[in-house]
């Protein structure tokens, strides 16, 4: 099974479209785009933190599972990557955060940039 974990804050922040005025709305738009995107992953995990959590309820919608980070989005992303890696299969995290990149590599995941994902939405 292949798993794509999306750093919601990092991906939303990669587009200068006024997201900072409505973080919840930006998260909802990203979620909707992930639901209809033609990407080659069995499961997509969207991790949201802060005000963005107000835009999408936690839980599963088709192949997209939304996770609300209780505090630190990065810690939640690492935990999700570790869980997915334990199950086997390919685990990829979408982020441009270099510190997070190093942390998820430590649990067996690889990374792709927000630009990669945005070009497929």
Q: Which residues contact 4 (CB under 8 A, 6 or more apart)?
A: 39, 41, 43, 44, 45, 92, 93, 94
Predicted local distance difference test score (pLDDT) of residue 74: 96
Q: Of all helices (H) and strands (E), which one includes residue 20?
A: none
What distance in Å separates the CA atoms of residue 104 and residue 121, rounded to the nearest whole number? Answer: 23
Contact 50, 30 (CB under 8 A): no
What are the sequence ranges of the domains in the chain? Answer: 3-118
Instruction: Specify whether domain 3-118 bears CATH 3.40.50.1100.
Output: no
Per DSSP, the three-state class of 72 is: coil
How confident is the chain (121 residues) per 10-residue block, as mean pLDDT? 96 86 94 94 96 96 96 95 95 96 96 96 92
């Amino acid at each position: 099974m292949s798993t794509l974990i999306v750093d919601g804050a990092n991906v939303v922040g990669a587009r200068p479209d006024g997201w900072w005025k409505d973080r919840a709305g930006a998260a909802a738009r990203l979620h909707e785009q992930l639901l209809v995107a033609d990407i080659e992953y069995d499961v997509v995990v969207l991790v949201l933190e802060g005000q963005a959590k107000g835009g999408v309820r936690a839980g599963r919608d088709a192949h997209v599972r939304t996770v609300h980070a209780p505090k630190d989005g990065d810690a939640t992303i690492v935990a999700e990557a570790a869980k997915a890696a334990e199950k086997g299969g390919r685990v990829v995290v979408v982020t441009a955060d270099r510190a997070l990149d190093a942390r998820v590599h430590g649990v067996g995941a690889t990374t792709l940039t927000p630009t990669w994902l945005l070009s497929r939405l």
